[in-house]
């Protein structure tokens, strides 16, 4: 083969940008592709072959995979809960990228195809209590994922499986659990809870306000995964021998109120919390069960929430004050 040996699809996104930076730093030849204009990318890494291609189009996917040995597919139209609950059709249309990229990869003789899935594939009836015991990979079936985004991810997981079975394309799948960190969106409607809370606390502190708005009652629970752990786990799974989906998520379960506690401690403030009970909330409780990733890879995410939030808060503060 000629040309770059690695393609990162969705390179202009938050996780994709971090992945490209890590791969380039390790000496890989990386073709970085995204549908957004280059000046809208979260990170544009020097040393990568940065290209704008609309991967919803089959011809663009054919161009993207030409000459590469490994595909990291992270491209999707998505955001935080406020976005995915209000844009179900847009989220599901990402299946065009998934199908066209798989077809192109199989035709081009790609050796390994990684697909970034989501914890949103898990049945909503297993996530009705904040005291979630942990979602095992096998819990995805019988299927009843989050509407829209969750169905798109679950369908494409199955498509990866059948491309492996029918065509011999070595596919690997990770289910991401609430990834956060510096260089992500923190405003505009697509941001996720950690970045949104950091922004709200910073806005309150800068304006002298003594209150912030919290979506829901603050007792809904999640496990939040720092982006460095996500990037490490992505490459571990992509290069491993586990052909079934694998969770990539922290096991540190916290309520949204506890998340706010940590951010307030970093900021050195204590704020009144105004709860918006009619806001989009998603499931009541979600936790990653890391048994499989520990058993098969001897690893699980290690960055504590307080450590990751301190880095995230510092980066967002810099963006809002400079």
Every domain range in the chain assigned CATH 3.40.50.720: 6-179+225-248
Task: With beta carbons less than 8 A apart as the criterion, state whether 192 and 230 touch.
Answer: no
Every domain range in the chain assigned CATH 3.90.25.10: 186-223+252-286+304-321
Question: Would the pLDDT of 79 be above 70?
Answer: yes
pLDDT at position 280: 84
pLDDT at position 3: 53
> Shortest CA distance to 271 belongs to which of 218, 209, 192, 199?
209
pLDDT at position 2: 44
DSSP state letters, 197-213: HHHHHHHHHHHT-SEEE
What's domain 6-179+225-248's architecture?
3-Layer(aba) Sandwich (3.40)
pLDDT at position 304: 98
Residue-wise pLDDT for 173-189, tens only, equals 999 999 999 999 999 98
Q: Quick one: average pLDDT of 89-100? A: 97
- In angstroms, the CA 236 to CA 136 distance is 19
> Shortest CA distance to 234 belongs to which of 20, 66, 35, 56?
20
Q: Quick one: average pLDDT of 25-49? A: 96
DSSP reduced 3-state for 14: helix
Q: Quick one: average pLDDT of 229-248? A: 98
- In angstroms, the CA 34 to CA 76 distance is 10
Q: Assign 4 a pLDDT band (cuts: 50, 70, 90).
A: low
pLDDT at position 281: 82
Question: Would the pLDDT of 63 be above 60?
Answer: yes
Q: Which residues are catalytic?
A: 149
Q: Assign 49 a pLDDT band (cuts: 50, 70, 90).
A: very high
Task: With beta carbons less than 8 A apart as the criterion, state whether 234 and 66 touch.
Answer: no
Q: Assign 272 a pLDDT band (cuts: 50, 70, 90).
A: very high
Q: Assign 1 a pLDDT band (cuts: 50, 70, 90).
A: very low
Q: Quick one: average pLDDT of 206-229? A: 96
The pLDDT mean for the chain works out to 96
Q: Quick one: average pLDDT of 296-313? A: 98
Question: Would the pLDDT of 287 be above 80?
Answer: yes
CATH superfamily of domain region 186-223+252-286+304-321: UDP-galactose 4-epimerase, domain 1 (3.90.25.10)
Question: Would the pLDDT of 39 be above 80?
Answer: yes
Question: Would the pLDDT of 33 be above 90?
Answer: yes
Residue 176 β-bridge partners: 118, 248
Q: Quick one: average pLDDT of 238-267? A: 98
Question: Would the pLDDT of 270 be above 90?
Answer: yes
């Amino acid at each position: 083969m000629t040309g770059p040996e690695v393609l990162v699809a969705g390179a202009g996104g938050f996780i994709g940008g971090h992945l490209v930076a890590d791969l380039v730093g390790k000496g890989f030849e990386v073709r970085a592709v995204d549908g957004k204009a280059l000046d809208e990318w979260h990170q544009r890494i020097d040393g990568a072959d940065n290209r704008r291609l609309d991967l919803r189009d089959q011809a663009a996917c054919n161009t993207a995979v030409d000459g590469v040995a490994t595909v990291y597919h992270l491209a999707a139209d998505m955001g935080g809960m406020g976005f995915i609950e209000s844009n179900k059709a847009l989220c599901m249309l990402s299946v065009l990228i998934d199908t066209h990229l798989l077809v192109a990869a199989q035709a081009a003789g790609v050796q390994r195809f990684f697909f970034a899935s989501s914890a949103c594939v898990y049945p909503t009836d297993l996530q009705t209590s904040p005291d979630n015991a942990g979602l095992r990979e096998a819990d995805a079936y019988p299927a009843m994922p989050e509407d829209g985004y969750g169905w798109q991810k679950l369908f494409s997981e199955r498509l990866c499986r059948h491309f492996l079975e029918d065509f011999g394309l070595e596919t690997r799948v990770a289910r991401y659990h609430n990834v956060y960190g510096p260089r992500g969106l923190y405003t505009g409607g697509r941001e996720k809870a950690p970045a949104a809370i950091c922004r709200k606390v910073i806005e309150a502190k800068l304006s002298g306000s003594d209150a912030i708005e919290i979506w829901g009652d603050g007792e809904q629970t999640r496990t939040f995964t720092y982006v460095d752990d996500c990037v490490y786990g992505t490459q571990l799974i992509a290069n491993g021998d586990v052909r079934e989906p694998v969770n990539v998520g922290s096991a540190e379960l916290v309520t949204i109120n506890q998340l706010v506690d940590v951010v307030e401690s970093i900021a050195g403030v204590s704020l009144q919390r105004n709860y918006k009970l009619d806001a989009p909330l998603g499931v009541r409780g979600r936790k990653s069960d890391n048994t499989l990733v520990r058993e098969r890879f001897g690893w699980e995410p290690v960055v504590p929430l307080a450590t990751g939030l301190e880095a995230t808060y510092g980066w967002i503060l810099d963006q809002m004050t400079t």
